[in-house]
Amino acid sequence: MTIQECYAALEGDYEEVLGRLYSEALVRKFVGKFLADQSFQLLESSLNAEDYDEAFRAAHTLKGVAQNLSFTRLYQSSHEITEALRTKDYTLAAQLLSPVSRDYEQTVAAIQAYQASST
């Protein structure tokens, strides 16, 4: 699997991230680092604990990382949950966790498949 195929699998925009980072090597580097980011886990645990300030911070961080890496699908769902938390619509935020989780898992699975194929 190529990095371009990885982006297709996670429904991202490879050309956009390449334009931002200028080098395929940098794209590969930062895509790999995404797996160590704990923002999603923090979002999930904070929402479950009803710690909405921490959940907002985690959602906002996840949204920013997804945007910077052009993970389009994950960016869209994390943006929606960030806005629900910003407006203190906690019921909606809880409902939006499922789509964020689905998109996060899709992103992680694509990255892991890419890494497994390139070793």
Q: How confident is the model at residue 118 (pLDDT cuts 50, 70, 90)?
A: confident
Cα distance between residue 107 and residue 92, in whole Å: 23
Computed over every residue of the chain, the mean pLDDT equals: 96
Q: What is the model's pTM?
A: 0.94
Q: Which one is the CATH code of 3-117: 3.30.450.20, 3.30.750.24, 1.10.3720.10, 1.20.120.160? A: 1.20.120.160
**Residue pLDDT, tens place only, 47-94:** 999 999 999 999 999 999 999 999 999 999 999 999 999 999 999 999
Helices 14-21 and 24-34: crossing angle in degrees, nearest 10, is 110
